Structure 1
Amino acid sequence: MGTPVTSLHGGTAGREPGNHKWALRTATITATLGGLLFGYDTGVINGALPYMQEDLGLTPLTEGLVTSSLLFGAAFGALFGGRLADRHGRRRMLMVLALIFLAGTMGCTFAPSTEVMIAARFILGLAVGGASVTVPVYLAEVSPSNRRGRIVTQNELMIVTGQLLAFIFNAYLGNSFGESHSIWRWMLVIATLPAVALWIGMNYMPESPRWLASMGSFGETLSVLNRIRSQAEARREFEEVKAMAVEDYKSKMGSWKDLGIPWLRRIVFVGLGLAVIQQITGVNSIMYYGTQILSQSGFGREAALTANIANGVISVLATFVGIWLLGKVGRRRMLITGQVGTTTALLLIGLFSLILPEGTARGFVILGLTVTFLAFQQGAISPVTWLMLSEIFPLKIRGLGMGASAFLLWIVNFLIGFGFPQLLAAIGISNTFFVFAVLGVAAIAFAAKYVPETKDKSLEDLEHYFKNVAGSKAPTTEAQLS
């Protein structure tokens, strides 16, 4: 084979030693700008909403609609984003999503009414949902198997970093210019900057080698692998990817009819379950309405904006810990530990909201518990969920399975985002968190019975494994996968 030519998709033979590490790192950082946008656009509403209430005259119902319209759009963005990424490529899909992020952000920033804001947030949600499935799949497919966990979960780190940045900008703008007209518009427009950077950056990034192989473009596959791997690793991985791609390429792209196959149906069932149990902890009631929760617990509006930064800080720190733990601990064990921790914190939030009198002391207790909750959620549940969703599906149905799972995840997210203000008004803060605690117990039971271990297995190993084992009707235990 001749010397590969440098291109948008390929690499160069004769490159300097170590350049492949830089190329992989650059691709990771650029793609995870999609995660940063995901985080910022979902987190910014937390501080912008109190100011929107005044300018747009929001009621509890329209407040829920403004918040959750993004989540409803994200469900459809996730559902169709995976299929479009399968058809047109991960890289091209991320470039399109960058433009949708830009258009949606501008629509929200200049929205003159509640109706326009809801529509613009829906459009923005399409990009958020598309990024939620495309970025982890892209990262999983460009990563070497021994580093896949840490690389894919860097997207989760960027998500919580985006949320933290949103909380910081919200607090700064709210405390400094809170009396200015429409300060929330300035909170929203900041998201245009990473959207532009994502579009520019992905122009220069390689396509997923596994997607190229699935399209039969083996020359480009090897060229990309030469760009992001050492020469020995590239050749070894190319043979592995090619063998699996040839097997899948003989059949058409996966469809819902494939769920008639028991082992594929089981994988999709596990994927859908992972999506649900990540959301029914109620994490996004804190990420979207944290300022209101802290206000009701005893803080004033501006003080709550500042205190809410603690939720963002712990999310970032916990994600760092989670990334480190993924290299040490099994995915399944981390997931169950995280679910136990969040359920305990939810129970305590409900309990102390019930027995402590309203005031600053109760506010600090609730803040401490929300920080504890997020330490378990962002340090264990969220990184494991997105990582496992990116790696359990075989290539043939990866876009379909990831899209369907993320669709359900966002629908549950939408129901929580829309219903939380009404639930809070109807039954109070303590009973609301008791409901989430009960759901947490159900999540623990599901994870213990159905979720398999996937640590240290290549994507191709996982596909062969599920073919041989996952069709069994017996629950999969960690011991079976050792």
Structure 2
Amino acid sequence: MSVDLALSPGAAANAGASSAPKATIRSAADVARLVNEGGAKVSNARMVVAIALGGVFLDAYDLGALAFGLKDVAKEFNLTPAGTGMVASAITFGAIVGAFLGGYFTDRIGRYRVFMADMLFFVVAAIACAFAPNEYVLAGARFVMGLGVGIDLPVAMAFLAEFSKLQGKGNKAARVAMWCPTWYAAICVSYLLVLLCYSALPEGHGGLLWRIILGFGAVPALIIIAVRSRYMSESPVWAANQGDLKGAAAILKRSYGIDAAVAPDAVVTAPKRPASWSNYALLLKGVYARRTALATIMSIASSFAYNAVAFGLPVIIASFLAQSMLTTILVSLVLNLLFAFVGGLIGVHLVPKTGAWKLTTVGYAFQLAALIGLALIGKPHGASEVVGAIACLAVFLLGQGFGPGAHTMTYASLSYPTSLRGVGVGLNQTLMRASSTVSLFLFPVMAAALSTKVFWVIAVAPLAGLLSLLAIRWEPANYDVDAEDF
């Protein structure tokens, strides 16, 4: 083992004192090993993880922010169905482009630079949305916001994976899975903000609701920008892979408190896989082909089902309960908070010991059972059927939370080493966002044509995910995938 870890005599005599552990670095593999053994133990490393999750929060918030305001937008700008579709889908088209570009640039110029530039997209786009004078400016701003969303996930997942230890509580798989409860927390915040504004705005000023909701997205982005200089660092593993061992040692000192020094006989080599657009093709070759196939099928299946149910949740609940907008918002909020969010926390807690494969398999089984239940119930009549339908929605969201919701990103992020992680997540998100666009378009069309029988169609998605997991039994949790770069 080429890393020499030892406490100085003073530190040995004063356990827990201010002296930092000593480390000698002779290669990029040593840097990766130090991160794998230590994880986010000190404040700076934990803050990097928290800030990366803040980016995920923004992604979810901005994607879901217009769910309750689209009708007001259409009314204010007198939009045709095509115009409404343009405004609604602009962010997903931006996310498709952003994910593909973000994957490459995350590997090419580094995690830190991409993340910091990404935050500016959110600020500018949110403010432009809030003051949009017409549907074209609004759609353009939403497209730019989508670029930010698409760029953010590859870099956020890289930070989560590369600032976390390999095994035990809070390991890489658990940190990456934290994206899921963070996502649902953002959805809940958007619901709460809608509820607050809905209650506070004077009658006749409902048209301001969507502007306030969209504009609020600039606030967390500005907070992240404000704290970046104090806590954010480049990924030490990425820096070491680029041959910058001294830079990696400085990051270890700043983020982990490890007093690392580069040995005189250190081996500095060129990256095994330099960042290139051709790296996307590497994801479809050798051992990565199976992993890419599994991660892609899972993400597309999860995205299709989740978008159809979760983003259509207000519509579904309104049709079940035939109640007011306020009731619909409250029930949507409760279901997301108690089942999707809690399910995500369960997935984070269990994955270090249980593994991602088992949790995702059970999660898909929950979803399949729930969708079959909704299809069999159909249009509920009477209190018992309404309760049954709502219970099925709860089971679906719970399964999504601890299963595919949490671990599609575990598979997308931890199936590839540092040199391919950006493009791996980028490709996954490009295909997933394309699926999202299709599902968001198809769900209203299918629901109008099939009514509640549409749940039979949606059930195909978790079935496909379940079958892919049974066919390809790949477990990324607790596996040192970064060692494949060495």
Question: In the alignment, which of 227, 249, 252 is matched to residue 201 of structure 1?
Answer: 227
Alignment partner, residue 469 of structure 2: 447
How far apart, in 2, do the equivalents of 1:78 and 1:126 lie?
7
> Is 1:284 paired with 2:307?
yes
Change in Cα spacing, 1:250 to 1:45, as seen in structure 2 (3 Å) is closer
Render the CA deviation track for 1:152-183: whole Å, top value 9, x for unaligned. 22222222111110011112222332641322
Identity of aligned residues (%): 22
Q: Is the contact between residue 57 and residue 182 of structure 2 (CA under 8 Å) also seen in structure 1?
A: yes
Q: Is the contact between residue 154 and residue 423 of structure 2 (CA under 8 Å) also seen in structure 1?
A: no
How far apart, in 1, do the equivalents of 2:177 and 2:78 lie?
39
Structure 2 gaps of 5+ residues are 1-17, 23-37
> Is 1:379 paired with 2:402?
yes
How far apart, in 1, do the equivalents of 2:385 and 2:85 lie?
26
Alignment partner, residue 183 of structure 1: 209
Alignment partner, residue 448 of structure 2: 425
Render the CA deviation track for 1:207-227: whole Å, top value 9, x for unaligned. 101111122111111221233
Alignment partner, residue 402 of structure 1: 425
Render the CA deviation track for 1:15-47: whole Å, top value 9, x for unaligned. 599995211111111121101101111222222
Residue 283 of structure 1 deviates from its aligned partner by 0.7
> Is 1:332 paired with 2:357?
yes
Which one has a larger percent helix, Structure 1 or Structure 2? 1
Residue 319 of structure 1 deviates from its aligned partner by 1.2
Alignment partner, residue 110 of structure 1: 131
Q: Is the contact between residue 52 and residue 182 of structure 1 (CA under 8 Å) also seen in structure 2?
A: no
> Is 1:351 paired with 2:376?
yes
Q: Is the contact between residue 156 and residue 319 of structure 1 (CA under 8 Å) also seen in structure 2?
A: yes
Residue 251 of structure 1 deviates from its aligned partner by 5.6
How far apart, in 2, do the equivalents of 1:252 and 1:91 lie?
16
Under a length normalisation based on structure 2, what TM-score does the superposition of the two structures give? Answer: 0.83
Matching residue's letter, 1:117: L
Change in Cα spacing, 1:101 to 1:211, as seen in structure 2 (3 Å) is same
Q: Is the contact between residue 393 and residue 463 of structure 1 (CA under 8 Å) also seen in structure 2?
A: no
Matched residue SS, 1:45: coil
Change in Cα spacing, 1:247 to 1:108, as seen in structure 2 (3 Å) is same
Question: In the alignment, which of 252, 257, 270 is matched to residue 225 of structure 1?
Answer: 252
How far apart, in 1, do the equivalents of 2:76 and 2:383 lie?
28
How far apart, in 1, do the equivalents of 2:213 and 2:158 lie?
30
Matching residue's letter, 1:267: R
Matched residue SS, 1:453: coil
Residue 441 of structure 1 deviates from its aligned partner by 1.4
Change in Cα spacing, 1:112 to 1:455, as seen in structure 2 (3 Å) is same
Residue 57 of structure 1 deviates from its aligned partner by 3.5
How far apart, in 1, do the equivalents of 2:90 and 2:273 lie?
40
Render the CA deviation track for 1:401-425: whole Å, top value 9, x for unaligned. 2211110011101111122222222
Residue 362 of structure 1 deviates from its aligned partner by 5.5
Alignment partner, residue 367 of structure 1: 390
Render the CA deviation track for 1:422-478: whole Å, top value 9, x for unaligned. 2222222x12221011232122111111240122122334668xxxxxxxxxxxxxx
Which moves more between the two structures, 287-296 or 336-345? 287-296
Residue 60 of structure 1 deviates from its aligned partner by 4.7
Change in Cα spacing, 1:231 to 1:15, as seen in structure 2 (3 Å) is closer
How far apart, in 1, do the equivalents of 2:225 and 2:140 lie?
23
Render the CA deviation track for 1:224-248: whole Å, top value 9, x for unaligned. 123333639x78xx99xx98x9474
Residue 62 of structure 1 deviates from its aligned partner by 4.0
Under a length normalisation based on structure 1, what TM-score does the superposition of the two structures give? Answer: 0.84
Matched residue SS, 2:312: helix
Alignment partner, residue 174 of structure 1: 198
How far apart, in 2, do the equivalents of 1:336 and 1:262 lie?
25
Change in Cα spacing, 1:188 to 1:256, as seen in structure 2 (3 Å) is closer
Q: Is the contact between residue 302 and residue 462 of structure 2 (CA under 8 Å) also seen in structure 1?
A: no
> Is 1:210 paired with 2:251?
no
Matching residue's letter, 1:90: R
Q: Is the contact between residue 53 and residue 182 of structure 2 (CA under 8 Å) also seen in structure 1?
A: yes
Alignment partner, residue 308 of structure 1: 332
Residue 361 of structure 1 deviates from its aligned partner by 6.6
Alignment partner, residue 54 of structure 1: 75
Residue 363 of structure 1 deviates from its aligned partner by 5.1
Matching residue's letter, 1:436: I
Render the CA deviation track for 1:348-399: whole Å, top value 9, x for unaligned. 1222234x23x77765543332222111101221111112211111333222
How far apart, in 1, do the equivalents of 2:273 and 2:74 lie?
56
Q: How does 1:16-31 map to 2 (within 5 A)?
A: 21-31=42-52
Q: Is the contact between residue 94 and residue 199 of structure 1 (CA under 8 Å) also seen in structure 2?
A: no
